[in-house]
Structure 1
Amino acid sequence: MDVMVLQTQRWLNRTYGSVPTFGSVEETGSTGWDTIYGLIRALQHEEGITDLVDNFGETTMALCPTLKLGSTGRVVTILQGGLWCKGYGTGAADLTANFAGGTEDAVKQLQADAGLPQTGIVTPMLMKAILSMDAFTNTWSGGSDRICEMQRALNASISSYAGIIFPCDGLYSRSLNEAIIYAIQKDIGMDAGTANGAFGPTTTSMWKSAYPNGVSAGSSATAMVKIIQYALYCNGASYDTGTFDGVYDSTVTTRVSQFQSFSGLPATGTVDISTMLSMLVSYGDQDRAVTGLDCANTLTDSYLAALDSYGYKICGRYIVGGDWKRLKVDEFARILAKGMSVFPIYQTNGMEESYFSYNQGWEDGKEAVMNARAFGFPNNTVIYFAVDFDAMDYQVTNSVIPYFQGIYERLQKMSCYPYRIGIYGPRNVCSRVSDAGYAELSFVSDMSSGFSGNLGYPLPVNWAFDQIDTVSYPVQAPDFVEIDKDVVSGRDSGASVAFPIPDTDYAGGESLIKVNIGNDEIPVYANMDTNYPFVKNQIGSIKKGQFYIARASKDGASWAPSYRKVIYKKGDGALATGLIIVSNTIMGGSFIQTGVVDFHSVIFNGSDLEVLNPDEDHISGLPGYIAHTVHKPVAAMNSSGTFIKTIPAGAKIAADVSETGYSHPEYLICNYVNYGEGNGWEPITSSDSYFFVDVDLYSATSGADRAIW
């Protein structure tokens, strides 16, 4: 508790407590907005304003008197209370109504701390700065003396021009960013009445006119070079030029090149308008050419042709949401066929703090993985989870970080599907979640330039995509495609291949997992034919040691060869469907394909295959069941397709048939699990008598690659 602040609070309540619309302030002895607002309302009352508000606005400024040595009255007392709240003593043990030497000394010290001439005179602009929560010393955790140096120099240069005294607290924030832009506007000759601290179209145009060739080594534009040095430092201490001296030397050239390279700009060492904007505006130069995009539109062939003509190479698409928004399997194939890659975005809501919690992250982590798996995104793909609101720092701490912790821990539990975590959101949110260890890469929503988490924060060090603008491209009149432009850092190349479970008619029909243990490859055909030789268009083959999924019932007419519809893995790693010939003679429902056995009748030992005797009991106490060893973590699902748990490597699973789930033919039906350590065989849970295990068909090219042997 600060005794001087407590005196100020008591004086305010005692003096103005009966004034209509003044209200009261809490008497805590701690400075806060409640006390500052009380001082502002007190000043307004002394100015003759009757409708008191918590804002030092234009009217309050216009009516505020200038105070100096010898001034008296309650406005002086308000000034002294403001100085006390900022930690400046006035040389007296109590508030007075007299502007004496102690008060003048306090004002001069504050002016020195703010980089202003030490006149001891309190102008209305200085009074506004005093009656605020702005600090003028580096008292904050994480504050930088170099930033303080910068802030004081800017106040000395542009406070009269801007009509603002900026804080000198050692922190890069929205106000410092604004001060630097005011300095630019002053340098390029913008009228003070037009200047606003925002790098808009007028500032951009005037800067380009003032510096048509940019600013480079040897430049005599000392003021602008100093601004460039400020902007570099604010984007990270690694861009520190050593001093703010306005000299564009080799160090400045190197730092500019490093910043350009980090930001996805040509590393020329010359500051052009794109570099200037990238240093000070979250979205940078919105006219710059980019190769990335994200959108909520289904990308048709005509849309993709248009986007391809504009140079787009990578696309962000949603893997959840309504049909209007969500990626489609055939769309995914179209995008890849066009030579573009895809990065997945997960967003069901994410537009307000109430959505975010650990439990929500736990659920979203599972849903994201299962949806990514269904679309066929390869292992190690980064999924970007959206934080699509202007999250304050405390909201990041209380809600957003726990949400990502839930995602992280859920994906750790589902390590059988090794997807990686990314975050979509404002700069500060991305950096904080990443620093907490819960996101590897950031997709930055820099297009939302007004978000508090973007202004005054550098681009996250792990940025992969930087969203800078929404644009529309004509397709065929009156049609157009609307997308968001994304700068690409190269940290994430997206998915350039996909391994979706093929769309087949397996749902509702029994399927079996089969293994080719013969020496010959099994041809796979596209079509049955009613004419001899009853096959048409070979499209692939099932090699020795590979396993595949086949319908248990045969296809084909009674007079034609017996076929089976299969899912198999092609040479390029993708899953595909086709037909194999089982027999040229109708033999009922059983397979007589030479060299083929059921999955549960074979043990994989490295690359070797050992066929078991189906008449023997292979697990003691479980007649008819065969044990398979888990060599990579696998996902166990219940009959509803809901993830139960990850079965770790080293465990064993037991199956009595090689039958798969009807609607998910890539899952083997199992009955028991044995985690080792003498625990014995047990159901997966107390309520599930059987479960389904992903047989890892995607990575199955040889026995050693399989998740289950």
Structure 2
Amino acid sequence: MRNAMVLRAQRFVNSVYGSRIGTTVEETGEADWATMYALTRALQYELGITALSDNFGPTTLSTLTAKYPVLDADTVPSPDFCRVIQSGLYCKGYDGGDLDGTYGARTRAAVTRLKADMGVEQALPGDGLTPKVFKALLTMDSYVLGGSGTRQVREVQRWLNGRYFGRQDFFAVACDGRVSRDTARALVFGVQYELGMADGTANGNFGPGTQSALKSHPVRQGDTGVYVRLFSAGMVVNRRPVALTDSFDSYLAAAVRAFQSFVALPATGDGDFATFASLLASYGDQSRQGRACDTIAKVTPERAATLKAAGITYVGRYLTNPSATSLPEKAVQPGELTTIARQGLRCFPIYQTVNNDASDFDYVAGRTAGYAAVNAALDHGFRKGTRIFFAVDFDAIDAEITANVLPHFKGIKEAMADSGHPYEIGVYGSRNVCARTGAAGFSTASFVAGMSPGFDGNAGRPLPGDWAYDQFVIRTLGSGDGQLEVDVDAASGRDTGQGAFDRPRPAVPDVAFDARQVPALRADLSRYMRSIGRPDLGGIGSDARLYTNAQAVGTIQDQDGLITELSHTYSMRKALIQTAVYWALRDYSLADQARDQQVADHHLTGSGSVKDSPTGIGEISATDAIQAWNHCIGWGYTTGDHRDPGKDADLWSVWQRLNKDNAFSVRTAALIHLWGVRGRPGGQLPPGDRVTTPRSMRLDLAEFEITELLRRYRAWDPDVGAQTHQSLAVYQIFEKYNSIARHA
């Protein structure tokens, strides 16, 4: 909300300091970080610091402490210095005076009120502004109860500030009643200080030294004192229905039992180390046993025996492997699920390709992931009703969850619906990712990545209510042939994986398409294309597309015999050819038709300005076709005469065949894919895109290899990245129906 005094503060910092500090702020009348940064720089300027920074760091703090250990009516050095203080107070929501440069009654009252709101009024009595309070002033932290905050949490925050503010490395936390990373870290600082850690040693991290010392301080019903207060603060921070207290009474014991049951600890009601640890860090007590694990190692009979001996019941295994060369056992291996079932273990499947950056997530990628996971789960023999956990393997902040992760899971959910809801959807990720995905209705259980307490999505966040597995430590189990490394997971019982499996679907050659499946194929493709903004006959003007979904599918079906033959000849999945042709047909527009006419005019009358262009049902240029044929003739994949793409006669001859002969276009599409696995360039991609050369053509190409072949097929397209991204789901849809046919 626009505030007249905040606006005056912004105008003040711009007019007095703008040229001095090298920045100005937008004069909106609304407090923001930009204004706080500018005020920080103004303070640094007044202190004589030459290397100005947005950060109120150690140099600013030490310089301010040395020069002005207390700022008040007697020590404020200048009116403008005082106006920096007054501006900070107004941006914080306090009446700092009239920006008159005088540390008067209103300013003194505001500073006194600020310290009381922070909880430091007893530690720092009076109306003077000390350096660490000044640092707190120039942040966007609030010290009054916020709309989504609770009084119980605010009481914890004020108590932490009041008790530990004088310690060297402890800085004020917000007192808005909302649990944050800073609140969680401040609580650990408090534990460390009470354990006797010195300034410079205490760091707010729940590390081995802190854990070892805390084991000597369990609390239980009847106890009193600061450790009970710290324990109850941990309960409050974890959103348990208790109040901050230094007396461990029966009410707190009952709440502790409920918490212990929730996090799968023995429900004793005591504040033992394991319970205390679960309150302080997302990984909790890493020495505890877990009933579940996940691993990138194949579960052999010997390893299964190791897992059983370690008390493991549930084993997480991956549906696919994003790499063809590294981690060879990451995906479920042939015969492995049978071993798991025979040994009395149960398996829960995980789907992960790369998924370690926000850019890997969006609605289209979610649709692709949903289709791909269903296909892979069916291939391995996971029965219907199994829950697949889709991985979000990075520390997604709130904005990324909103913009990337939730649309991604919306795509997964819609792909699962298109597939007839064969599997449940789970989510793997930080506590916040899991909680928000579940709250949005896109998942039914969470697999929590709890081993990273510093994740923004874990720190200060409670364990999601729908958690099924909670990953907390890496261990190497067993020895000899039975040795394997696992991530150990707590299990709530909400998900129990599967203990029996259908016969797996091996990587056998494709067969002729079952015509009875065509209506379902058309429907799936149509729904997907509409969902990404490509309905039948979409586009405006010259971008208007000419082939409907039904026409594209019909054209591909007309060539099914040839596509099946090419698949057998080259050990190539039919879906690679089908996807290339389908996408080309659905993308063909009036502009493409006009360009084709220009090519014909060039060669027939000399009037056209275009010598070559992508054409025919595969949208292949004569130049690319000639190079693909030459390449494949040279490698013995096919026979024919070498042609020269530099000769008009050869270009025109091949272009006409592509334009008019659908079978020639389909055959050429297959040869382009063969060219792709042997180094056909793939066009220009944005920096940072992951490109890996595929292996030779085979029926079990990894997902990244399929992606790369589709990208190389469209190397001529200026939007190759976006086109490939969208076409991957088309591949998975075709693969779904090809799988039905070959395993009928």
Q: Same fold (TM over 0.5)?
A: yes
1:329 Cα deviation after fit: 3.1
1:635 Cα deviation after fit: 10
User: Does residue 131 in structure 1 map to residue 138 in structure 2?
Assistant: yes
Q: Deviations over 1:98-118 (max 9, x none)?
A: 211111000011111111214
- Taking only aligned residues, the RMSD between alpha carbons, in angstroms, comes to 3.0
1:502 Cα deviation after fit: 5.7
Q: Deviations over 1:641-695 (max 9, x none)?
A: 998889xxxxxxxxxxxxxx999xxxxxxxxxxxxxxxxxxxxxxxx9xx78969
Q: Structure 2: how far apart are the matches of 1:257 and 1:443?
A: 23
Partner of 2:61: 61
What letter matches 1:282 in structure 2? S
Q: Structure 2: how far apart are the matches of 1:39 and 1:405?
A: 43
Cα distance, 1:295–1:98 mapped onto 2, change above 3 Å: same
How many residues end up aligned between the 2 structures?
Answer: 525
Cα distance, 1:101–1:337 mapped onto 2, change above 3 Å: same
Partner of 1:578: none
Q: Structure 1: how far apart are the matches of 2:192 and 2:320?
A: 45
Partner of 2:41: 41
Q: Structure 2: how far apart are the matches of 1:504 and 1:77?
A: 74
Asked whether the equivalents of residues 97 and 104 of structure 2 are also in contact (C-alpha less than 8 Å), the reply is no
Q: Structure 2: how far apart are the matches of 1:508 and 1:97?
A: 82
Asked whether the equivalents of residues 159 and 166 of structure 1 are also in contact (C-alpha less than 8 Å), the reply is no
1:197 Cα deviation after fit: 1.9
Asked whether the equivalents of residues 401 and 433 of structure 1 are also in contact (C-alpha less than 8 Å), the reply is yes
Partner of 2:208: 201
User: Does residue 493 in structure 1 map to residue 475 in structure 2?
Assistant: no
Residue among 221, 229, 233 paired with 1:230? 233
Paired residues for 1:290-369 under 5 Å = 290-321=290-321, 322=323, 324=328, 325-369=330-374
Paired residues for 1:441-590 under 5 Å = 441-476=445-480, 480-501=483-504, 503=506
What letter matches 2:413 in structure 1? Y
What letter matches 1:259 in structure 2? F
What letter matches 1:26 in structure 2? E
- Computing the radius of gyration over CA atoms, which structure comes out larger, 1 or 2? 1
Asked whether the equivalents of residues 260 and 266 of structure 1 are also in contact (C-alpha less than 8 Å), the reply is yes
> Does 1 or 2 have the higher relative contact order (CA < 8 Å, sep 6+)?
2
Residue among 136, 140, 148 paired with 1:142? 148
Q: Structure 1: how far apart are the matches of 2:43 and 2:510?
A: 78
Q: Structure 1: how far apart are the matches of 2:174 and 2:143?
A: 5
Cα distance, 1:643–1:636 mapped onto 2, change above 3 Å: farther
Asked whether the equivalents of residues 154 and 179 of structure 1 are also in contact (C-alpha less than 8 Å), the reply is yes
Q: Structure 2: how far apart are the matches of 1:194 and 1:271?
A: 25
Cα distance, 1:498–1:643 mapped onto 2, change above 3 Å: farther
Partner of 2:8: 7
Cα distance, 1:341–1:119 mapped onto 2, change above 3 Å: same
Structure 2 gaps, min length 5 = 529-563, 568-733
Q: Structure 1: how far apart are the matches of 2:524 and 2:139?
A: 55
Cα distance, 1:643–1:330 mapped onto 2, change above 3 Å: farther
Q: Structure 1: how far apart are the matches of 2:403 and 2:245?
A: 42
Q: Structure 2: how far apart are the matches of 1:200 and 1:635?
A: 59
User: Does residue 90 in structure 1 map to residue 93 in structure 2?
Assistant: no
Partner of 1:183: 190
What letter matches 1:356 in structure 2? F
TM, length-normalised to structure 1: 0.69
Residue among 388, 391, 399 paired with 1:386? 391
Q: What is the SS of the residue equivalent to 1:316?
A: strand
Q: Deviations over 1:439-492 (max 9, x none)?
A: 000000011222100001000000000011122235229x95221111111111
Q: Structure 1: how far apart are the matches of 2:408 and 2:512?
A: 40
What letter matches 1:18 in structure 2? S
Q: Structure 1: how far apart are the matches of 2:513 and 2:355?
A: 40
Residue among 424, 429, 434 paired with 2:433? 429
User: Does residue 163 in structure 1 map to residue 167 in structure 2?
Assistant: no
What letter matches 1:163 in structure 2? F
What letter matches 1:143 in structure 2? G
Asked whether the equivalents of residues 298 and 333 of structure 2 are also in contact (C-alpha less than 8 Å), the reply is yes
Partner of 1:269: 269
What letter matches 2:415 in structure 1? R
Q: What is the SS of the residue equivalent to 1:379?
A: coil
Residue among 373, 387, 403 paired with 2:378? 373
Q: What is the SS of the residue equivalent to 1:373?
A: helix
Partner of 1:114: 118
Partner of 1:703: none
Compare 306-315 and 446-455 and name the one that shifted more. Answer: 306-315
TM, length-normalised to structure 2: 0.66
Cα distance, 1:177–1:48 mapped onto 2, change above 3 Å: same
1:47 Cα deviation after fit: 1.1
Cα distance, 1:635–1:500 mapped onto 2, change above 3 Å: farther
Partner of 1:251: 251
Asked whether the equivalents of residues 636 and 693 of structure 1 are also in contact (C-alpha less than 8 Å), the reply is no
Asked whether the equivalents of residues 170 and 189 of structure 2 are also in contact (C-alpha less than 8 Å), the reply is no
Q: Which has the higher strand share?
A: 1
Q: What is the SS of the residue equivalent to 2:166?
A: helix
Q: Deviations over 1:305-330 (max 9, x none)?
A: 33333222211111012452211231
Partner of 1:518: none
What letter matches 2:338 in structure 1? A
Q: Structure 2: how far apart are the matches of 1:111 and 1:508?
A: 74
Q: Structure 2: how far apart are the matches of 1:177 and 1:166?
A: 10
1:57 Cα deviation after fit: 0.9
Partner of 1:588: none
Cα distance, 1:218–1:439 mapped onto 2, change above 3 Å: same
1:153 Cα deviation after fit: 1.8
Residue among 393, 398, 408 paired with 1:403? 408
Asked whether the equivalents of residues 88 and 138 of structure 2 are also in contact (C-alpha less than 8 Å), the reply is yes
Q: Which has the higher helix share?
A: 2
Cα distance, 1:693–1:369 mapped onto 2, change above 3 Å: closer
Structure 1 gaps, min length 5 = 513-624, 628-633, 647-660, 664-687, 699-709
Q: Deviations over 1:504-529 (max 9, x none)?
A: 98x578999xxxxxxxxxxxxxxxxx
Q: What is the SS of the residue equivalent to 1:246?
A: coil
Asked whether the equivalents of residues 381 and 494 of structure 1 are also in contact (C-alpha less than 8 Å), the reply is yes
Cα distance, 1:501–1:306 mapped onto 2, change above 3 Å: closer
Partner of 2:74: 70
Asked whether the equivalents of residues 70 and 98 of structure 1 are also in contact (C-alpha less than 8 Å), the reply is no
Partner of 1:102: 106
1:418 Cα deviation after fit: 2.4
Asked whether the equivalents of residues 45 and 52 of structure 1 are also in contact (C-alpha less than 8 Å), the reply is yes
Q: Structure 2: how far apart are the matches of 1:230 and 1:429?
A: 24
Asked whether the equivalents of residues 379 and 506 of structure 2 are also in contact (C-alpha less than 8 Å), the reply is no
Q: What is the SS of the residue equivalent to 2:290?
A: coil
What letter matches 1:91 in structure 2? G
Q: Structure 1: how far apart are the matches of 2:353 and 2:178?
A: 35
Cα distance, 1:510–1:197 mapped onto 2, change above 3 Å: closer
Instruction: Give the share of equivalent positions with the same residue, in percent.
Output: 37
